[in-house]
Amino acid sequence: MLTSPAPANFFKLAHSGMYNLGHTLECGQTFCWLPWEKGYLGVLGKHAVYVKSGSGYLAVETNPGLDKANITNYFQTHINFEAVIQSFPPQDRYLQAAIARYAGLRLVRQDPWECLASFLMSPLKQILQIRQVLMKLRSTYGAPISSFKKIGPVLYAFPDIPTIARCSELDLRAMQMGFRAKNLLKTSRQLESGLVDLCRLETLPYEEAKEQLTKLHGVGVKVADCVLLFAYGKQEAFPVDVWIARALRKLYFGRRKFDLDRATQFSKTHFGPNGGYAQQYLFHYVRNNPEILE
């Protein structure tokens, strides 16, 4: 019997406000989407996904197994995006410039384990290298996925916690992750032992969820904030990395004393409860226009 191409399901996700897929999928919140034809090719759970922009909607093509709720949850097409943008201080010319330049950059809602493992790779590594490490991890330890695209890259699911936990540190180092191998391995084993329950964090307020995440080896406040923002939708999470620290210092603090606590406090009073969204705009803005910080 001849194998026919895997069937595909189609979804149309309407959204209000702008939605720029390029800015959204290449701003550094996620690492494994591939530009493909006129959209992006990626994986949600165990399923291949192809997404492209329409006028006022996202057109999504998947192989069977994902329903519309799964996909909507990832792309967050249901949120009131205009309200988020309008919650920011109108007199902040830097943030407003970032919002204008990268209009339609959205936060998505990632799988917590994949997001956590991804940002465990981030310390002292460039985004390009993070992508490469994660792609190699997927193709080595992830389950291959049948794509509905006749021609295209082979896709792999993100390896689950037990799969990583069974690896040795040397196995993981072979993925070029260097000293981060121990952090990923130890965290996977801590999660398997039940030290932290990633599912339960969904129900906890921001501060308590952060306390849980930072119990994991290799997870400090920055990585925890990324996971809280990008996987749990805690929009008050404000990850302070080298770029954001530079931006805040240069653009907002002037000669005032700067440290992590002051930065966090500033994010609350200046940007408000959607500070994480502002952070991602500023991050993408200064990273792509570093002359702003000169």
Partner DNA sequence: CTCCAGGCGCCTT
Partner DNA sequence: AAGGCGCATGGA
**Interacting residues with DNA (CB under 7 A):** 27-29, 122-130, 173, 176, 178-179, 182-183, 214, 216-224, 226, 239, 241-244, 279-280, 283, 287
CB of 9 to DNA, least distance (A): 30
* C-beta separation of 67 from 52 below 8 A: no
In the bound state with DNA, the residue whose beta carbon lies nearer, of 83 and 124, is 124
CB of 1 to DNA, least distance (A): 44
CB of 264 to DNA, least distance (A): 12
CB of 129 to DNA, least distance (A): 6
In the bound state with DNA, the residue whose beta carbon lies nearer, of 48 and 263, is 263
Report the 10 Å Cβ neighbour count for 69: 9
In the bound state with DNA, the residue whose beta carbon lies nearer, of 46 and 249, is 249
CB of 242 to DNA, least distance (A): 4
**123-129 CB contacts, 8 Å cutoff, 24+ apart:** 123/180, 123/218, 123/223, 125/180, 127/28, 127/31, 129/176
Cα 14 from Cα 12, distance rounded (Å): 6
Assigned token pair, 51: 């997404």
In the bound state with DNA, the residue whose beta carbon lies nearer, of 71 and 219, is 219
Cα 10 from Cα 253, distance rounded (Å): 48
CB of 30 to DNA, least distance (A): 8
| H or E element, residue 144 | strand 144-145
CB of 34 to DNA, least distance (A): 18
In the bound state with DNA, the residue whose beta carbon lies nearer, of 71 and 227, is 227
Taking CA atoms, 240 is separated from 119, 193, 209, 259, in Å, by 13, 30, 17, 10
In the bound state with DNA, the residue whose beta carbon lies nearer, of 23 and 149, is 23
CA 133 to chain centre: 15
Q: Work out the burial of residue 227: count CB atoms within 10 Å of its CB; fewer than 13 is exposed, 13-18 middle, 19 or more buried.
A: buried
Q: Name residue 11's beta-bridge partners.
A: 60
In the bound state with DNA, the residue whose beta carbon lies nearer, of 114 and 241, is 241
